[in-house]
Amino acid sequence: MKAYKFVVAFFMGILILFCSCTITNKNSESVVNFNGTKYEKYQGTLIQTGNLSAITQQGHITYYNNLNKEENGENINVNTYEGDSSNIFILVGQNIWNEGVVFHKKADILPRITDGDRISSISVNLPNDAKPYYLSSQAKTDYIRFLSKIINSDSGLVIIKTDGSPGEGSVITNYKNYPAYDSSINIKSISNGRFALNFSESDKNKRLLKDTNNAVIIPNWLIYEIKKS
């Protein structure tokens, strides 16, 4: 009897592992229906706030294979996040073998790091400086304007090569009444006491700054404004 239970548990584990692989398969589009709302896989840089709920609920996931054009589905475990009363984000398929995959409500419009009206606060941690600088209204406006220039590939930017080490400082962007924050901006310490900025996503950094290890020099006047905050 024990051997039978072991075999059943083993094959259930394989089935669950197969399901989690299907969720993350690049050739498969997955849509989760949870409490009558549709969700899609989240692949951005936002980090969900709040602890994961201990209560597991049930949703239904549909897989559409782009290669063979087949569609199938099944019921699947869903966990919500505490403090996310609208369930903008959910965790799908978590179990003892798998950490699960974050899904995002399809109808929700994600905030961006340059959405000034949706940002509640920005804190900057400069390299070798223990103090977090919570940007004043003016510093926040000027920082977002500088960041927008980078995203829009402004020709006036000074781009340098870094040594490829992890970010020594960071920027945390919090949003108004939104259950996630962004920490995808790194601050690098460079020569002559200056600082440079780049993105934690290698693909994004390469696309915007031409190389994964490149960074943009932050103007001295902006550093001055940050330190005044």
Task: Please count the other Cβ atoms lying within 10 Å of the Cβ belonging to residue 45.
Answer: 17
Cβ atoms 106, 39 nearer than 8 A? yes
The DSSP element (H or E) to which 158 belongs, if any, is: none
Asked which of 65-74, 139-148, 153-162, 197-206 is least confident by mean pLDDT, the reply is 65-74
How far apart are alpha carbons 216 and 206 in whole angstroms?
Answer: 12
pTM of the model as a whole:
0.85
Closest CA to 158 of 200, 124, 197: 197
Q: What is the DSSP letter of 144?
A: H
124 pLDDT higher than 60 = yes
More confident position, 68 or 32: 32
63 pLDDT higher than 80 = yes
Reading the block at residue 150, the tokens are 């980078």
Query: Which amino acid, residue 141?
Result: T
Contacts (Cβ under 8 Å, ≥6 apart) of 134: 121, 122, 123, 229
Q: What is the pLDDT of residues 140-189, one digit of tens each?
A: 999 999 999 999 998 889 999 998 787 799 999 999 999 999 999 999 99
Cβ atoms 79, 39 nearer than 8 A? no
Report the chain's mean pLDDT, rounded to a whole number: 88
Indicate if the alpha-carbon torsion angle 90, 94, 34, 60 is positive or negative: positive
* pLDDT in the model for residue 13: 46
Beta bridge partners of 181: 47, 174
Closest CA to 41 of 51, 28, 53, 52: 28
**In the block, which residue shows the tokens 């403090």?**
83
Cβ atoms 196, 219 nearer than 8 A? no
Closest CA to 191 of 149, 160, 222, 226: 160
Task: Please count the other Cβ atoms lying within 10 Å of the Cβ belonging to residue 87.
Answer: 19
* pLDDT in the model for residue 163: 85
How far apart are alpha carbons 146 and 216 in whole angstroms?
Answer: 10
Cβ atoms 184, 147 nearer than 8 A? no
